[in-house]
């Protein structure tokens, strides 16, 4: 971020500092670094869980950890850049996205597209160094996010969230497949399904909070097309599925299963109580959104810590 420099000395140096900061901020917005960081957590959960379930040592997998982290960051950033290029017309309409570099002209569509392609190629190549399967999942995740979600369903159907949730659940698969080829293991399937289901109430909450934006841009989000009551019922439906999916962690750890179960039940209770006790729908949605972040951070951090303890102390 730009900083106000009180001193009047060395103005040229100050301008350079501001310029560098500005370019850094533009790049960060273009590749959506916030999304990169948030998606690396489930990727690490899949990675550490794969190491634990396959009785691997931390030291022996340092290359896979490095390659999967760098490669994942690059392919996720590439997906964000592709999305910014394609959505720049509707981004210009919605206040929350009007400052994106592809809208303001700080990044041209051609430059952003070139950046996305380069990041994708390098990211997939780096993931290959972890494992070909991890690279395949990385490429699949970008494809699902860009084509079925961004280019096809986002502007056409209320089920765009469901379609987009599949690509959003790929990071754990990338991490797991960097150290294991068994993608049918109940542990990784649990992570994948929880990640898929979690995204619906999370993004419904965002859609309620930003309903006016989506309405102006004619993006058919569920609250815009079907209204608040339908969104509330559908949110609770997925929260019930999230509660049931918690039992998938039973084969991994009773402790993790209980953490997932308690968090999911608390989320459902918050949804029902908050909706009926608060007439301000935006406030209800904001609380739901904040709790969704706590839910995912606590659950996946628990998986990471549990797996790392098992790997380090060989608690198989």
Taking only the tens place, the pLDDT of each residue in 5-63 is 333 333 333 333 334 448 889 999 999 999 999 999 999 999 999 999 888 888 889 99
Model confidence pLDDT, tens digit, residues 93-123? 999 899 999 999 999 999 999 999 999 999 9
* pLDDT in the model for residue 231: 96
Q: Which whole number is the average pLDDT over 236-259? A: 92
CB-based burial label for 268 (10 Å; 0-12, 13-18, 19+): middle
Q: What tokens does 309 get?
A: 């303890």
**26-313 adopts what CATH topology?**
Farnesyl Diphosphate Synthase (1.10.600)
- Of 79, 73, 75, 16, give the one whose Cα is nearest residue 41: 73
* Residue 235 pLDDT exceeds 60: yes
Q: Confidence class of residue 67 from pLDDT cuts 50, 70 and 90?
A: very high
Q: Which long-range contacts (CB under 8 A, 24 or more apart) does 227-236 make?
A: 228/281, 231/204, 231/207, 232/271, 232/275, 234/200, 234/204, 235/200, 235/201, 235/204, 235/205, 235/271, 235/288, 236/268, 236/271, 236/272
CA dist 220 and 234 (Å) reads 15
CA dist 222 and 311 (Å) reads 43
Model confidence pLDDT, tens digit, residues 254-286? 999 999 999 999 999 999 998 888 778 899 999
Q: Which whole number is the average pLDDT over 282-311? A: 94
In 169-179, which positions are buried (b, 16+ CB within 10 angstroms) versus exposed (e)?
bbbbbbbbbbb
Q: Confidence class of residue 316 from pLDDT cuts 50, 70 and 90?
A: low
Q: Confidence class of residue 252 from pLDDT cuts 50, 70 and 90?
A: confident
CA dist 256 and 191 (Å) reads 11
* Residue 311 pLDDT exceeds 70: yes
Q: Are the C-beta atoms of 82 and 113 separated by less than 8 Å?
A: yes
| Whether the model pTM is above 0.85 | yes
- Of 142, 144, 133, 171, give the one whose Cα is nearest residue 296: 171
CA dist 143 and 127 (Å) reads 16
* pLDDT in the model for residue 125: 98
Distances (CA, A) of 17 to 2, 11, 28, 185, 315: 8, 10, 16, 50, 50
Model confidence pLDDT, tens digit, residues 171-208? 999 999 999 998 888 889 989 999 999 999 999 999 99
* pLDDT in the model for residue 315: 61
* pLDDT in the model for residue 82: 96
* Three-state DSSP state, 157: coil
* pLDDT in the model for residue 209: 94
Q: Confidence class of residue 224 from pLDDT cuts 50, 70 and 90?
A: very high
Residues 6+ apart with CB under 8 A from 173: 46, 137, 183, 188, 192
Give the whole-number percent of the chain exceeding pLDDT 70. 92
The whole-chain average pLDDT of the chain stands at 90
């Amino acid at each position: 971020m730009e900083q106000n420099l009180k001193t009047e000395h060395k103005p040229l140096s100050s301008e350079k500092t501001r310029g560098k900061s500005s370019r850094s901020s533009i790049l960060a917005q273009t590749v959506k670094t916030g999304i990169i960081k948030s998606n690396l957590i489930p990727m690490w959960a899949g990675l550490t869980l794969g190491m634990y379930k396959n009785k691997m040592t931390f030291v022996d997998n340092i290359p896979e950890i490095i390659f999967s982290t760098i490669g994942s960051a690059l392919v996720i950033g590439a997906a964000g850049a592709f999305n910014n290029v394609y959505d720049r017309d509707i981004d210009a309409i919605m206040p929350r996205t009007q400052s994106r570099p592809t809208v303001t002209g700080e990044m041209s569509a051609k430059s952003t597209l070139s950046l996305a392609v380069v990041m994708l190629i390098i990211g997939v190549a780096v993931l290959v160094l972890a494992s070909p399967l991890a690279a395949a999942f990385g490429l699949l995740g970008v494809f699902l996010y860009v084509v079925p979600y961004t280019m096809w369903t986002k502007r056409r159907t209320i089920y765009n969230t469901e379609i987009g949730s599949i690509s959003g659940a790929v990071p754990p698969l990338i991490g797991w497949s960097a150290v294991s080829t068994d993608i049918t293991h109940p542990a990784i399937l649990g992570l994948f399904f929880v990640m898929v289901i979690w995204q619906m109430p999370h993004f419904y909450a965002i859609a309620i909070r930003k309903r006016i934006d989506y309405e102006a841009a004619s993006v058919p989000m569920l609250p815009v097309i079907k209204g608040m009551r339908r969104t509330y019922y559908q949110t609770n439906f997925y929260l019930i599925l999230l509660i049931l999916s918690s039992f998938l962690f039973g084969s991994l750890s009773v402790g993790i299963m209980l953490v997932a179960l308690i968090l999911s039940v608390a989320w459902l209770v918050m949804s029902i109580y908050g909706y009926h006790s608060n007439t301000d729908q935006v406030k209800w949605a904001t609380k739901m959104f904040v709790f969704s972040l706590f839910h995912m951070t606590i659950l996946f951090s628990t998986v990471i810590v549990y797996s790392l303890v098992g790997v380090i102390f060989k608690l198989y």
